[in-house]
A and B are shown apart, each in its own frame.
Chain A
Amino acid sequence: MAPRPASETSKYARDVGKFPKKVSKAKNKRLQQGLKKVDQEYQEFVKSAEATDVLLQEEAGFLEADGPMERTMKFRQDDIVEAVDVGTANKKLDLQLTELGPYTLDFNRNGRKLLIGGKKGHVASMDWRLGKLGCELFLNETVNAVKYLHNDNFFAVAQKKYTFIYDGSGTELHRLKKHVELTLLDFLPYHFLLVSAGYSGMLRYHDVSTGALVSEIRTKLGPTQAMKQNPWNAVMHLGHGNGTVTMWTPSQKDPVVKIQSNRGPIRDLAVDREGKYMVVSGSDKRVKIWDLRKLQELDTYVIPTPARSVDISDRGLISVGWGPHVSVWKDAFKTHQDEPYMTHLLPSSKIEKIKYVPFEDVLGIGHMKGVGSMIVPGAGEANFDAMEINPYESAKQRQEQEVRTLLNKLSPDTIALDPNFIGMVDKKARNVRLNQTQIQDLEDEEKKEKERSSMNSGPSYKPEQTKLKKYLQKNNANIMDARRMRIERNLKLEEERKEKLKAKELEGEGEPDELLPALGRFA
């Protein structure tokens, strides 16, 4: 077998396997030339894009055990902290916040800022690496979810009833009246959509750049248990009480895909960066891995207690938080793993939320007694695109990035299961282009067909107007006399009778009519 060309195997290849290798022969010579040129350009693109890999200087590595006697899952965080360099060791974070209850957390897009939300109303935004507090709020109200918007200057907090938006210094900017009793928040950065779900079973999309509520969808599946976005196509994945996972776009009122994943209620789910895999944890103690391309279940892992939170790192490490444990699985998308890559225990606590820090080998853990972090070597993407998300951006760069992203904002209705649909030919359309005469012919034929079918499809007669109606129409002067009164009454009676007849006919469709239809009307 001949080796496949680079344009097929490269990670920069597009639509692998969609098209035959050879350019199909076009009838038009010039078109053929053009197609060939485009194909060549594509090959060149792949090649040049591959060549840029040289520029990705950073390498990613994992923990490696010394021989088969040692297991990486047995490595303790203290040992790792001792072994790694100071810079990484400093990323180990441990905030003891025992009073204000289990903490949820969120990182901003470049991973510099940490937003924590204590159940009992403690919200704080901070630069977690410098230990610099941005703002701290004590809301005296239940906090269900916290979420950074497009940058760390805005964040949304789902409180007891309403959802609020605060700025970086903790000033309340908005109260979102429509978003009530929420437990889950997410943000689609390219569409500037704040997505919320909660007890009510409603899924709402709110455009934070214009302030308009884009879409409000009833899931009809009860309180939403879990919600995460698919970063690849911006489809929202919702987990429900009956063990289904549904995928939603703002433009469609029904879920685009509905999966029966677990038997018990879904606890949490996570979608990987490339939108290829989904990890779902349910109350039935199963953690399931789904292939989103084929919509097939890949693997199932059983966990002693239901996993409260799951997350997938940039480089495909799955972390599962269950009880006081965090276990990290490596290569779980490839083969079934016998044991986790790493484990971590938070004694006498309970994991509330775990989330990987973008571009870092760190897993943030929000738990009952505060917020901590865990060093997971090989978790983060080592090479970042500073034009896209820059972890080292300055204030100016952040502002410019904000403007740029606003300019590049995508419309909500571009969200679809296959984001490549834009610009393509409608699936219902013909596969080949027809010229004008052909189209004309087809139209004529269709018309004929229609006519024929209309002729065939039974009686197409104009219902005869009754004399009474005719009379009424004729003399529609606004004069009420005895005759007119009588006529109207008769008309009414006649209609009633007709309706009755119709009802009878519908009713007695099953059994044969004893009186034949001719006599039936007198009955």
Chain B
Amino acid sequence: MAKKKQQRSQKRRSERKILDAFHLAERGQNGSDGSDSDGEELQVRDGIMDARKFMKNQDDDEFEDEELDSDEALGSDDDYDVLNSKFSQTIRDKRKNKNADESDSEYDSVDESQLVTLSEAWDLDDKYNSAKKAKSLSQLKSLEVVLNDDWESDSAESDSESDSEDNKDQSAGEGSDSEDDSDGSDDDSSSEESESEDEDKMLRGSDDEDEIDMSKTLSTINSHLKKDPEHKRLINETVKENEYGIPTGGVKLSLADMLGSSEAPETTLISRDLADDLNALAVPLPKRIQERNDRKVAYEITKEEVSKWEETVRTIRDADQLQFPMAPPATEEQEEVDAEREYDSLRIVPENDTKSDLQSKIDAVLRAGALLDESKEATFEQIAAAKLSKEDMFKRTQELRRMRELMFRDEQRAKRIKKIKSKQFRKIRKRETLRDAALVEGSDAESDEEDHDRKRAEERMSLRHKTQSKWAKSVIKSGITKDASTRAELEEMLRSGERLRSKQLGYNDGERSDGNISDVERDYENDDEEAENQERAKLGKGVLAMDFMKAAEERKRKENLKDIEFLKNMRESNGTEALDESSKNSINQTKNQGRRVYTPSAKIAQEEAEEAEEEALHDYRDDEARSLEKQMRGRDRQPEQDTDENEQPPAKKHKVVEEEFAGFDDEDSDKEADSKKNSRAKNSKNPLSSHNDGDLDPEENPWLTGMGESTEKSKKYVAITEDSSRLSKAANKIQKVASKRQTKGKTPDTYIDLNNAMSIAGNVQHSEDEDDDEEGPETRMFLQKNLIQEAFAGDDVVSEFQEEKRRIAEEEDDKTEDLTLPGWGGWGGAEITAAPKKKFVRKIDGVVQKDKRKDKNLKNVIINETLGKHNLKYQSSSVPYPYESREQYERALRMPLGEEWTTKATHKKATQPRVVVKQGVVVDPLKAPFK
């Protein structure tokens, strides 16, 4: 039953194939000549046979069930598979059965060399058309070819595409015919006839219908086909399996082949020429030498091999920590890189086409097992992505990622903010959002048209901006100042009206300002905007969001703007008059109100303005004076300075001179300068000290600032150099000292030297050294001290202590023992002169030698030098192994490992295990990295 089904399906398939082939051929034909009448009577159109006709003959109903369109995949794998494996077998079986009763012997005699391609078969058909026997054979052969074709088509498409396809299709049709109706062969034969004719026509070409030599065509085709040896490969497995029958793969071993190999160039064991030349062979090396040489060479080879590992082994040895299984170095790096670099690396699109060996292998296996269906895997996104370029794709993913990230963050933030319960925060936030909304209204009105329209409608409806409304009128009527809230509302109303009016006039706030502002100003404004934006960005964060802070900032900003304005003015007018002007302006502004101001604030403002003016003047002068030119002029042309006084205020001049002194003289003059500076500081504190006119301030102490200095200065300008005379040097010295004294005396009376004043010491907590005690004025203490000395006079602890120390030192010192025995080793007798007796002295090591004691130089201290046995057990008796000296070892011990003394990171690093093996993972042996 199943078999039948299979047959049917196979038939259907072949029918389909035929159809497809026909379509293809037709298409190709249409390409050449578009006008083609497809009449029913024309079964053959320009060499293409319509196979549908045959099929219609057979079983139309079956055919019509099929969907023609769905069978586009001609070369789909499963067809071949089926043909290859099971179905082909069934065909063969059938054929066997059929041939068994028809022509057994013939069939058996057919060998592979006789098997030819379809075209040949058709040629043969032409020749032996009449012969019945041949027909069956050709049928058989064509069948074989079909099988062969199917079998091979997946590996290589033949070069003559249309031919082979047609062949195949037709043969398939034939095959199916032969299968289905074994008896009805006449129709087939006739059809075959026509087929073969068509075939010939086709081979000849559609341009001419003339008779062309058949043999020629055949030969050309043959030659053409022979070029492709694959077509010839045909495996016939009809032979029964036995131990002698080896599958030959379609190639027959001929005698010529066997002879051919013997015609190779002479292969004698020893070539004759060489043998003539050869003398006697050298004596082989002695075995041990030979072996030694072998060993040497082997060693070299091994060494080379091993040396490849050196680098690896070294790195492993030097590594702080080894982790098994070892991570590939690339990933290790990735782990270490920071986020920024990771981002960079993401931007470089990884190349997919470079697959590793393993990957490609796996792919191949999967594909072979039909497990990998790429078409199925392709999701929508991938398909869409395929249309994009790599860069676009990357950009898109980045964007998506960022959006996702932003959304996530925003969500988190919203959650967090939602949790905040502070009323203050809520208030601020509300205000902030309102302001934001207002901003948006201002800027994005055009962009958001709908919103804009709605707003407009609202405004028009509410008419809130006009004072014509009933409510507004009533409020105005009843007096605006009555209620704070209503007033605020009214104000808001008026403000909105104002805003609308400005909108009508057609400029935004930013545009309103004149286009004449300087770059600095513009920058400042930009900065401010940016700052504001930033601030808005970190909304609700910290104190900066508070109202008063903002107000302060606003104030500061205004001030800065004012400064900028002022500077601009300065630049324009290039001088001090600007200052006056500005100050005047400011005063004017206050006075412009048309009435006198008695408030203290106005006064203060005025004063402030004056002060500022002063300061500015100071700065200006300082700047001027500091310029090198001026200074030089000041030095070189002293008299000219006087003439310059109109230009420069005198106070300034003095200062310049002072500075020069400070730089020029040594420390006493430095002090002088200091004192002057003090006075100057005082001056600057006094708001009246500096004036525009060149006169000295009447309130200034002339002793401190004015005349003395100028005279002094002139004196000091007597240059004392190395080569000047001794006398002059001495004179200078004396002068210096004198001047120093003078200046000391001159120091202003207003100063109180506090350090000098506080010379009273507390007596109660009196603490002195012993010497101080003795010469101290306080007799009471003195007496007491004596008393104490007397009190402790009896026990002279110090001398006792010294005695003890001496005793201990003696005890712990090295000792000697005399072991001499009297008379031992000597001779007694009358004539014997007393030989010098040898002394037997044994040295006993003490604890420590006297002069090596630690407390040798410490008067009141005894240090115990005996070592406790208990302590020794915590010590190493010698320097431990890798270290060469005590210093090295103790230096290595210097770093504390404990968590208590180090940071966590340090502790972890210091205590990490040398080898870490991941649990449950097979650790492969180390692979050589040079592969």
Contact = CB atoms under 8 A, between A and B. Distances in A.
B868 interface: yes
A340 B592 CA distance: 65
A517 B823 contact: yes
A199 interface: no
A367 B341 CA distance: 69
A258 interface: yes
Nearest to B891: A19
B903 interface: yes
B560 to A, nearest CB: 34
A388 B901 CA distance: 11
A427 B867 contact: yes
A48 B801 contact: no
Interface string A384-403: 01011000000000000000
Interface stretch (A24-32, A104-112, A115-123, A369-377): A24-32
A38 B895 contact: yes
B863 A284 contact: no
B861 interface: yes
Given A19-B894, A296-B858, A327-B765, A69 B884 contact: no
B906 A44 contact: yes
B89 interface: no
A432 B879 contact: yes
B255 interface: no
A15 B761 CA distance: 42
A98 interface: no
B903 A433 contact: no
Interface in B710-762: 754-755, 757-758, 761-762
Interface string B759-773: 001101111111001
Interface in B863-919: 863-864, 866-868, 870-896, 899-903, 905-906, 909-910
A302 interface: yes
Contacts of B871: 251, 413, 416, 421
A424 B795 CA distance: 43
Contacts of A343: 765
Contacts of A309: none
A206 B123 CA distance: 122
B800 interface: yes
Contact of B884 (A27, A284, A388, A425): A27
Interface stretch (A132-140, A158-166, A241-249, A349-357): A241-249
Contact of B895 (A41, A242, A431): A41
Nearest to A295: B861
Nearest to A439: B878
B218 to A, nearest CB: 85
Contacts of B881: 433
B842 A295 contact: no
A471 interface: no
Contacts of B864: 252, 254-258
Nearest to B899: A387
Contact of A73 (B765, B789, B800): B765
B823 to A, nearest CB: 7
Contacts of B861: 257-260, 295
Interface stretch (A168-176, A456-464, A473-481, A484-492): A456-464
B770 A300 contact: yes
B506 to A, nearest CB: 57
Nearest to B890: A424
Contacts of B882: 28, 31, 34
Given A252-B868, A429-B876, A41 B797 contact: no
A14 interface: yes
A41 B870 contact: no
Contact of A295 (B769, B820, B858, B874): B858
A242 B906 contact: no
A413 B868 contact: yes
A72 to B, nearest CB: 12
A257 B758 contact: no
Given A264-B791, A517-B822, A48 B903 contact: yes
A425 B758 contact: no
A67 B754 contact: yes
B798 interface: yes
A12 to B, nearest CB: 8
Given A252-B864, A284-B788, A302 B768 contact: yes
A339 B765 contact: yes
B548 interface: no
B893 A423 contact: yes
B773 A41 contact: no
Nearest to B907: A45
Contact of A263 (B757, B792, B862, B889): B792
A416 B867 CA distance: 10
B253 interface: no
B767 A421 contact: no
B885 A24 contact: yes
A337 interface: yes
Interface string A275-312: 00000000011000000000111001111100000000
A433 B885 CA distance: 6
Contacts of A431: 879, 885-887
A255 B884 CA distance: 35
A52 interface: yes
A114 to B, nearest CB: 27
A416 B868 CA distance: 9
A252 B868 CA distance: 6
A423 B876 contact: yes
A338 B765 CA distance: 8
Contact of A14 (B797, B824, B860, B894): B894
A14 B896 contact: yes
A466 B824 CA distance: 21
A26 to B, nearest CB: 6
A422 B781 CA distance: 49
Interface in A434-474: 434, 456-459
Contact of B868 (A251, A284, A429): A251
Nearest to B872: A426
B819 interface: yes
Question: By CB atoms of chain A within 10 A, which of B754, B842, B877, B886 has the most?
Answer: B886
A426 B784 CA distance: 51
Nearest to B317: A30
B855 interface: yes
A425 B879 contact: yes
Given A45-B906, A68-B754, A38 B765 contact: no
Given A31-B882, A42-B894, A433-B878, A261 B755 contact: no
A78 interface: no
B866 A49 contact: no
Contacts of B842: 457
Contact of A425 (B318, B886, B900, B906): B886
Nearest to B873: A413
A285 B894 CA distance: 43
A493 interface: no
A26 B885 CA distance: 9
Contacts of A18: 890
B543 interface: no
B821 interface: yes
Interface of B: 317-318, 754-755, 757-758, 761-762, 764-770, 773, 781, 784-785, 788-789, 791-792, 795, 797-798, 800-801, 804, 819-824, 840, 842, 855, 858, 860-864, 866-868, 870-896, 899-903, 905-906, 909-910
30 contacts: A19-B894, A28-B884, A33-B318, A38-B891, A39-B891, A41-B910, A44-B906, A48-B902, A48-B906, A68-B755, A243-B797, A255-B864, A256-B864, A257-B863, A260-B797, A297-B860, A304-B764, A339-B761, A413-B868, A413-B871, A413-B873, A423-B893, A424-B876, A425-B880, A425-B889, A426-B878, A429-B876, A429-B886, A430-B879, A458-B840
Top 4 A-B pairs ranked by shortest CB distance?
A413-B870, A458-B840, A433-B879, A260-B860
Given A284-B792, A429-B886, A458-B819, 12 more contacts: A15-B890, A31-B882, A33-B318, A256-B864, A260-B797, A263-B788, A303-B767, A413-B870, A426-B877, A429-B879, A431-B879, A457-B842
